[in-house]
Amino acid sequence: SNPGTVGLISESWSNIEPKPESWLNKDFFKCEKIKSVSLTWTNAWTLIRETEGGEMKLADAKPNEQLDTTKTSSIGNAFSWPSFDDVAAPDAKPEDLGLDKPVTAKLETFEGFTYDFKIGNKPIGENYYLSLAVNADIPKERTPGKDEKPEDKEKLDKEFKEKNDKLKEKFDKEKALEKWTYKVSKWTVDPVLKDRPQLM
């Protein structure tokens, strides 16, 4: 095209900024229906619930340990709406990101997803660096109910397939996130960044 040509467009592009982070695709993972949360820091702990939305309990509680339920309720909703501000440079050194000796967290969900996180052991300004690995155990076939009627089978099979397709789509999308290390805000990791005594 002619370099001297001027084009008129309807979009004003008033929100465009010359910052690389403003161009990032901010689609991220989302932990839903959390079943258990384990953290390894100074002291390790595991919280688990028996049913969706149930109370989270300390897996190996000692007689003198009484959980602060206000803290455990926030852990039960950890990473439900996470976001990130930027990604680390591929050649960034782990020690510069606090990931040379990371805090590790594992979250398991009732839908068969397992998230393994490495979280920086120190804040970098108002942020932490985080990397993740995602796995999912998605059933390939539906187990029919004991007294399932033939006329219900088609409907239930269809519902099962639709749910599985969504879970597979979620897994593929989140698995692709493993290649990067993310700069996340303090509030994103705060719910799980608690040493064992802080849960009491």
* 8 Å CB contact between 199 and 57: no
Nearest 5°: the CA angle 198, 72, 66 is 60
The burial of 103, by beta-carbon neighbours within 10 Å (0-12 exposed, 13-18 middle, 19 or more buried), is given as: buried
Q: For the chain, where are the alpha helices, taking DSSP H only? A: 69-75, 94-97, 150-175, 186-189
* 8 Å CB contact between 128 and 184: yes
* 8 Å CB contact between 87 and 183: yes
| pLDDT tier at 29, thresholds 50, 70, 90 | very high
Q: Taking the CB of residue 165, how many other CB atoms lie within 10 A of it? A: 11
pLDDT at 115 over 60: yes
- HEC profile for 69-103? HHHHHHHCCCCCCCCCCEECCCCCCHHHHCCCCCE
The burial of 147, by beta-carbon neighbours within 10 Å (0-12 exposed, 13-18 middle, 19 or more buried), is given as: exposed
Query: Rounded to whole angstroms, how far apart are CA atoms 94 and 102?
Result: 9
Over the stretch 67-92, which tens digit does the pLDDT of each residue have? 988 888 889 999 998 999 999 999 99
Query: Rounded to whole angstroms, how far apart are CA atoms 188 and 151?
Result: 46
| pLDDT tier at 23, thresholds 50, 70, 90 | very low
Over the stretch 121-177, which tens digit does the pLDDT of each residue have? 999 999 999 999 999 999 888 877 777 777 778 788 888 899 999 999 999 999 999
